[in-house]
Homo-oligomer: A and B are copies of this chain.
């Protein structure tokens, strides 16, 4: 006698398979009394439904959509590749993944695309985009139709997503702070913080964490105002030249967002010996680590991000729980020596 099956509970409750199935899937057309009787049997026998058998029977295909930024940076490319890889390799079976590239700046376009989604043909959505009122509405609409939505990489704290698949960016910023502070040996001086834009929540959170750690643990180091590059390498180089010229005591640079390549190249054109801490283990960052051009990379495993998003969406579809520890995305510290 193995685990109890629908047959067992049908017999125990004195009803047929079909009825059991109906209460199992909360379908209408069953008297309250019967429902209660079946529920009781389920509980008493400790029945646990075999999801794989169910999926086989209904030939289930999970259709999940990933909304990803279309930008040219290596990190975004890595992310897109990870999604493509998961889709192709069939890590998660019975799952079809479709990717939709969206422009981060096109606030309306992405909301429109989301709204255009047919809830009948999509079982879940993972989305990486800046939070806007339009996006919030679109997400609320989807969820109202029973489609689970997870925030991917970038949190959407006010959009009522089912889950956030990503790291705590305040903690990531704190981690960067400790690395910069200790790798520069607490030498009194200044550090520069560079980012694309401080408009985004992620950047803000990281900057917040970074500042907090610097203030509480490295008071001898002054953190200069953030340099916002808006993705322009020329501008970045010019700003850096100016700041590094003005402050000879600068010991390190913390790059909050993407754009590692531009930063490294710009810095190297001006001064050597600075401690460089950046985010995201892109091919360039990896090579730079090996070549000792940067000191540390704070990153998140993109493969893990994608698999986690898929597992969570699927669990939501099936009404099953997830293993929290498995879904916690780690803030990884990558040095030259522990490069994966």
Is A267 interfacial (CB 8 A cutoff)? Answer: no
- In whole angstroms, what is the CA distance A213 to B338 when docked? 12
Q: Could you tell me if A326 and B91 are in contact, using CB atoms closer than 8 angstroms?
A: yes
**Which B-chain residue is minimally distant from A323 (CB atoms)?**
B91
Interface segment among A63-71, A132-140, A173-181: the answer is A173-181
Interface segment among A39-47, A102-110, A328-336: the answer is A328-336
Within 8 Å by CB of A185, from B55, B89, B91, B185, lies B185
Q: Could you tell me if B331 and A174 are in contact, using CB atoms closer than 8 angstroms?
A: no
* A325 partner residues in chain B, CB cutoff 8 A: 303
Q: Could you tell me if B337 and A213 are in contact, using CB atoms closer than 8 angstroms?
A: yes
* A179 partner residues in chain B, CB cutoff 8 A: 335
* A298 partner residues in chain B, CB cutoff 8 A: 338
| Binary interface encoding of chain A residues 162-177 relative to chain B, with 1 for a CB under 8 A from any of its CBs, else 0 | 0000000001101101
Q: Could you tell me if A59 and B2 are in contact, using CB atoms closer than 8 angstroms?
A: yes
Is A144 interfacial (CB 8 A cutoff)? Answer: no
Is A284 interfacial (CB 8 A cutoff)? Answer: no
Within 8 Å by CB of A175, from B89, B304, B337, lies B337
- In whole angstroms, what is the CA distance A47 to B2 when docked? 32
* A177 partner residues in chain B, CB cutoff 8 A: 337
Is A340 interfacial (CB 8 A cutoff)? Answer: yes
- Most B-side CB within 10 Å, residue of A2, A325, A336: A325
* A307 partner residues in chain B, CB cutoff 8 A: 326
Q: Could you tell me if B174 and A337 are in contact, using CB atoms closer than 8 angstroms?
A: yes
| Given A185-B185, A326-B91, A330-B340: A178 and B335 interface contact (C-beta under 8 Å) | yes
**Which B-chain residue is minimally distant from A325 (CB atoms)?**
B303
* A18 partner residues in chain B, CB cutoff 8 A: none
Where chain A touches its partner, the secondary structure class is helix
Q: Could you tell me if A340 and B326 are in contact, using CB atoms closer than 8 angstroms?
A: no
* A91 partner residues in chain B, CB cutoff 8 A: 323, 326
**Which B-chain residue is minimally distant from A56 (CB atoms)?**
B53
Q: Could you tell me if B172 and A338 are in contact, using CB atoms closer than 8 angstroms?
A: yes
| Binary interface encoding of chain A residues 242-270 relative to chain B, with 1 for a CB under 8 A from any of its CBs, else 0 | 00000000000000000000000000000
Q: Could you tell me if A330 and B332 are in contact, using CB atoms closer than 8 angstroms?
A: yes
Is A121 interfacial (CB 8 A cutoff)? Answer: no
Within 8 Å by CB of A171, from B182, B304, B337, lies B337
Docked complex: A295-340 residues within 8 A CB-CB of B: 298, 301, 303-304, 307, 323, 325-326, 328, 330-338, 340
Is A52 interfacial (CB 8 A cutoff)? Answer: yes
- The smallest beta-carbon distance between A9 and chain B, in angstroms, is 18
* A2 partner residues in chain B, CB cutoff 8 A: 59
User: Which 10 A/B pairs are nearest by Cβ-Cβ distance?
Assistant: A185-B185, A174-B337, A333-B333, A331-B338, A175-B338, A52-B52, A175-B337, A303-B325, A178-B337, A178-B335
Chosen A-B contacts, 20 in total, with CB atoms closer than 8 Å, are A2-B59, A51-B93, A52-B93, A91-B323, A171-B337, A174-B338, A178-B336, A178-B337, A179-B335, A182-B182, A209-B337, A213-B337, A298-B338, A301-B330, A303-B325, A303-B326, A307-B326, A330-B340, A333-B333, A333-B335
